Amino acid sequence: MRTTFEWGRISGIPVRVHLNWFLTAGLVIWTLVAGYYPQEYPGWESTAYWLAGAGTAMFFFSSVLLHELGHAWTAQREGVPVQSITIFILGGVAHIQHEPPTPQSEFRIVIAGPLTSLLLAVFFFGLALLPGSPALQASSTYLFRINLVLAFFNLLPGFPLDGGRILRAFLWKLLGRFETATRWATLTGLGMAALLVLSGIAFMALGNLIGGLWVVLIGGYLGMVANTARTHAELNQAAGHSRDERGALQPESVPDEFQSQMFRSASPEEPRQAGPWSSENV
Ligand SMILES: [Zn+2]
């Protein structure tokens, strides 16, 4: 069964949506319609809550997509072809065809994502300050917070989050070896993943079931990706494969399916606001 479908193309990049994204979409809309808007702005008609909720959710997912496009457009400028962008249950992923050629190039591709989210946060902050309808102010405030969370959560220094990739770029520059840098960066990623899983379990024990489960899922997913990247770096190193002077990966050194690197933006905000039953934990 096909689990992803192509939503369209932006700058020639196929944008795919995984079926499991609909679960997140439903949860975000529900959170906004039944939680955020009625609590922050009581007294509206129910149609207004639905319109505001659906509209805000659309901008929320556009923000995730723009974060990934930030990575993708920078990759293209750096001469690294982009295969696709996938939006899925835990956020977005930009698949690029091969590793960036240098640590500097990796840094620029990675930082572009959080910078895009920060710019969006500034934009929505400005919009929230404008005099106008309460709905516009409410949605702008929500989107300001979401983009701030997207920027800072992704900057946490655990690979494969953007912060972990920045750490790898620094270690790569410092140590001169891509595989060694990856091994160290993925170690912080595994630590971060364990911390997230434990925090998620703690949230669940404290009664925030959906929020906690979400954090456990994000932690488990990040741990899996970090572990795969780590195994790879070890296999490459053990096999004596390395990069040439320009840093390009030698063509025979990595099997095809592992050549696509992924930039992820997990979005931990919505579970913490998942529905009125957990809103006291926000
Ligand atoms: Zn990112």
User: How does residue 262 score in pLDDT terms, banded at 50, 70 and 90?
Assistant: low
Structure confidence at residue 264 (pLDDT): 59
Query: Is 68 one of the catalytic residues?
Result: yes
Write down the pTM of the prediction. Answer: 0.81
Residue type, 263: F
User: How does residue 116 score in pLDDT terms, banded at 50, 70 and 90?
Assistant: very high
- Ligand 1 centroid – CA 186 distance (Å): 16
Task: Please state, in angstroms and rounded to a whole number, the distance separating the CA atoms of residues 176 and 231.
Answer: 19
136 pLDDT above the threshold of 90 = no
- Of 96 and 197, more confident: 197
In this prediction, residues 161-188 reach a mean pLDDT of 91
In this prediction, residues 109-135 reach a mean pLDDT of 91
Q: Which domain holds residue 74?
A: 4-281
- Catalytic residue, chosen from 6, 68, 78, 269, is 68
Q: Give the total number of structural domains in the chain.
A: 1
126 pLDDT above the threshold of 60 = yes
Mean pLDDT for the chain overall: 82
- Ligand 1 centroid – CA 280 distance (Å): 29
- Ligand 1 centroid – CA 110 distance (Å): 6
- Of 261 and 73, more confident: 73
Structure confidence at residue 29 (pLDDT): 92
Structure confidence at residue 274 (pLDDT): 28
162 pLDDT above the threshold of 50 = yes
> 66 to each of 7, 200, 276, how far by Cα in Å?
15, 27, 28
Helices (H), 7-161: 21-30, 37-40, 46-77, 103-129, 134-154
17 pLDDT above the threshold of 70 = yes
250 pLDDT above the threshold of 80 = no
